[in-house]
RNA sequence: GGCGCUGUAGCUCAGUUGGUUAGAGCGCCGCCCUGUCACGGCGGAGGUCGUGGGUUCGAGCCCCAUCAGCGUCGCCA
């Protein structure tokens, strides 16, 4: 008698006696014969109860999700009753012994059917939701991804080093989750937004090659692709160039896709930030389809059309997007599309339908055959397509056109669910103008090394300075960023000063780090990739909820545990905390 | 924090212009059935429509507020 999983048995096992443990997936009671599909993580096996055995009577009262141990004889199913849909479908187990290990209440939603429950109900009864095939499959894929990553870096002589969860907060960046200190009332640990400084210190400590599957927390609002608590593949290397990091991370992902999904990835295209913005209107382009944007100021040079003319005169741009087959849209549909564009931030939208019987446009009087021909040529559009035009200041027009590009692709079915289009974005600007203060601030984090030979721009033309910073993008999602770090203490202080920090502030907040740089910090760089997003896309899912065992809702609650929850008086007293009455 | 969508039976949903006893499928309960696998057949129970207020002779439907889930903008160095 051997224990087997519910997905294991095959025709060759016929004749052996086995023990199976699992949940009642479904029961089919024929009166004189009862079939039960027994389920575990591995699959389903049909077990049969025959009236000749003592197990038959209790089997009449089995219900969905009861937990069983059965023993019996594996036998081939009678000819013609095999089930090709099941891996175990050639055989069944004739039950000789039944033990009901536990009963289940009637579940609040059907566990044996995918896709039928409300999100909040699934989260409240997450243990039942996780029993379902979809979540079992997704979490298995997630496990394999993480395993493949660890194996890959182990093979390359990286060391996994755990960094603490209770650390010192940083005022910059995302909002910290704070943990009050009992021993130091009024003081707080912060939970890491990332192990950034700690992994850099690991380089200073001489470990050379670090990786970690790291939990990170950010107290910001959620999205379907953003959780307050997430897992990242965190990597750092010493004595490396940007190309070294890119090669390492690309190989890692290539390995993961090969080992987990058996998909051979092509080399990732590399694009500069300014290039990708011009072509796709975003720094995280979805490259599963073309539909590249075109700036068509020249096509409309000297136009009488007041909207375009005023934008051009004020230094703005007109950005064109091809809509394959879009000429078939009705005016009503174009109007709806225009509204959609406005919701995405467009000031307006001009459409040009390149119909077989001529041109139609929302700016009919100003769009002539020569305009249409020029647009078609620039975009590679054909008769039957439409062209959408957005006029605004350059960045805004590109941005809206970029969002509409994705919408057009969605409508025309160009976003293939089974395609994986990775790319690298490089040469980001080092600084951007802070919208509130109008001052230049680092576009990413302040530990990034400027592009080679561009340090001196910090005095002359800081906004032209580029960063040795890079993003990995997949299907329009940012998977993660990395950079070559500053390793010279004086340069690091320089950046902090540019941020407006005094020497004292630098010492209070980052003193430990700058001091570490003072003691022989090697040149180093690295990257972090969001494992939740990687798992989501690898599983073909559109929400992180589907690849995280116990996710938070959009309001950062755990519906199963009902967290967060108030602390007891005793706990608050010990921490010397007192909740403020609500204003 | 702003805007939007959703909330009706255990679950997924339908519910006409506000008008008697709020429907369906699945699930559940009972009976029957020895080859089903979304088993089948017969019968049955079950909801006052997220919550609170308002308009009205009358509200699932209209209005206001509120809660929850989701989407989106802000935010995410």
Q: What is the pLDDT of residues A30-53, one digit of tens each?
A: 999 999 999 999 999 999 999 999
Q: Report the alpha-carbon distance of residue A17 to residue A14 in Å, rounded.
A: 9
Q: A106 CA, B53 C1': separation in Å?
A: 37
Convert the pLDDT of each residue in A435-492 to its tens digit.
777 777 888 889 999 999 998 888 888 889 999 999 999 999 999 999 999 999 999 9
* Residue A114, CB, strand B, below 7 Å: no
Among A81, A55, A77, A87, smallest CA distance to A68 is for A55
The secondary structure element, H or E, covering residue A85 is none
**3-class SS at A382?**
coil
Mean residue pLDDT of chain A comes to 94
The tokens describing A385, both together, are: 């397509």
| A232 touches A214 (CB < 8 A) | yes
* Residue A356, CB, strand B, below 7 Å: no
**3-class SS at A66?**
coil
Stretch among A287-296, A323-332, A430-439 having the lowest mean pLDDT: A430-439
Alpha helices by DSSP H, A132-264:
133-155, 196-204, 242-256
Q: Report the alpha-carbon distance of residue A537 to residue A418 in Å, rounded.
A: 9
What angle, rounded to 10 degrees, do the helices at A133-155 and A531-538 form?
120
Q: A582 CA, B65 C1': separation in Å?
A: 19
CA distances to A13, A251, A412, A525 from A485, rounded to whole Å, are 59, 21, 42, 5
**Percent of chain A with pLDDT strictly greater than 90:** 84
| A398 touches A293 (CB < 8 A) | yes
Residue A146 has pLDDT above 80, yes or no: yes
Confidence of residue A544 (pLDDT cuts 50, 70, 90): very high
Stretch among A63-72, A168-177, A312-321 having the lowest mean pLDDT: A168-177
Confidence of residue A583 (pLDDT cuts 50, 70, 90): very low
**Cβ neighbours around A395 below 10 Å, total:** 12
Average pLDDT over residues A250-265: 98
**Percent of chain A with pLDDT strictly greater than 70:** 99
Residue A550 has pLDDT above 80, yes or no: yes
Q: A344 CA, B60 C1': separation in Å?
A: 34
CA distances to A283, A433, A538 from A156, rounded to whole Å, are 30, 40, 24
Identify the residues numbered 209 to 268 in chain A whose C-beta atom is closer than 7 Å to any atom of strand B.
218, 220-224, 226
Q: A192 CA, B68 C1': separation in Å?
A: 30
| A496 touches A446 (CB < 8 A) | yes
Stated pTM of the model: 0.95
**3-class SS at A189?**
strand
CA distances to A103, A225, A364, A406, A552 from A124, rounded to whole Å, are 20, 20, 55, 34, 11
Q: What is the pLDDT of residue A582?
A: 55
Confidence of residue A417 (pLDDT cuts 50, 70, 90): confident
* Residue A32, CB, strand B, below 7 Å: yes
Convert the pLDDT of each residue in A129-138 to its tens digit.
999 999 999 9
Q: Report the alpha-carbon distance of residue A359 to residue A380 in Å, rounded.
A: 16
């Amino acid at each position: 008698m051997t224990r087997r999983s519910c997905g294991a048995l095959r025709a060759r096992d016929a004749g052996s006696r086995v023990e199976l443990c699992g949940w009642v997936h479904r029961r089919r009671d024929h009166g004189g014969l009862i079939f039960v599909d027994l389920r575990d993580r591995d699959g389903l096996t049909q077990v049969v109860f025959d009236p000749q055995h003592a197990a038959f009577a209790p089997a009449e009262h089995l219900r969905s999700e009861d937990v069983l141990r059965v023993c019996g004889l594996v036998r081939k199913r009678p000819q013609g009753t095999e089930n090709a849909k099941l891996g175990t479908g050639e055989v069944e187990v004739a039950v000789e012994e039944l033990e009901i290990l536990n009963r289940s209440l009637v579940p609040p939603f059907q566990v044996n059917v995918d896709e039928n429950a409300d999100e909040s109900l699934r989260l409240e009864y997450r243990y039942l939701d996780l029993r379902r095939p979809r979540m079992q499959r997704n979490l298995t894929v997630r496990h394999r991804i993480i395993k493949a990553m660890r194996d890959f870096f182990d093979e390359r002589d990286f060391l996994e080093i755990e960094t603490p969860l209770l650390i010192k907060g940083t005022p910059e960046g995302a909002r910290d989750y704070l943990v009050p200190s009992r021993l130091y009332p009024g003081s707080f640990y912060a939970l890491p937004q990332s192990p950034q400084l700690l992994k850099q210190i690991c380089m200073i400590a001489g470990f050379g090659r670090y990786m970690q599957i790291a939990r990170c927390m950010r107290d910001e609002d959620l999205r379907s692709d953003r959780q307050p608590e997430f897992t990242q593949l965190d990597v750092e290397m010493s004595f490396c160039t940007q190309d070294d990091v890119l090669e390492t991370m690309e190989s890692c992902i290539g390995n993961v896709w090969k080992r987990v999904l058996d998909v051979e990835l092509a080399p990732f295209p590399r694009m500069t930030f300014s290039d990708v913005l011009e072509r796709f209107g975003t720094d995280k382009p979805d490259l599963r389809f073309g539909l590249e944007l075109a700036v068509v100021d020249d096509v409309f040079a000297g136009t009488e059309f007041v909207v375009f003319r005023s934008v051009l005169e004020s230094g703005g741009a007109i950005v064109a997007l091809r809509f394959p087959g879009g000429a078939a849209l009705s005016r009503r549909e174009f109007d709806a599309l225009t509204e959609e564009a406005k919701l995405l931030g467009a000031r307006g939208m001009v459409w040009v339908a390149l119909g077989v019987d001529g041109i139609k446009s929302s700016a009919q009087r100003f769009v002539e055959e020569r305009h249409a021909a020029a647009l078609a040529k620039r975009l590679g559009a054909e008769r039957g397509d439409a062209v959408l035009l957005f006029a605004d200041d350059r960045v805004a027009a590109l941005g809206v056109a970029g969002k509409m590009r994705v919408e057009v692709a969605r409508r025309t079915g160009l976003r293939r669910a089974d395609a994986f289009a990775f790319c690298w974005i490089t040469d980001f600007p080092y600084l951007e103008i802070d919208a509130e203060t109008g001052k230049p601030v680092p576009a990413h984090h302040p530990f990034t090394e400027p592009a080679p030979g561009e340090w001196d721009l910090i005095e002359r033309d800081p906004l032209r300075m580029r960063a040795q910073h890079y993003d990995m993008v997949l299907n329009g999602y940012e998977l993660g960023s990395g950079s070559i770090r500053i390793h010279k203490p004086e340069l690091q202080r320089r950046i902090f000063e540019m941020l407006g920090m005094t020497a004292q502030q630098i010492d209070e907040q980052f003193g430990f780090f700058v001091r570490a740089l003072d003691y022989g910090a090697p040149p180093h760089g690295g990257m972090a990739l969001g494992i939740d997003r990687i798992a989501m896309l690898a599983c073909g899912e559109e929400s992180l909820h589907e690849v995280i065992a116990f996710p938070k809702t959009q309001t950062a609650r755990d519906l199963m545990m009902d967290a967060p929850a108030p602390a007891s008086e005793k706990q608050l007293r010990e921490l010397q905390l007192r909740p403020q009455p609500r204003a």
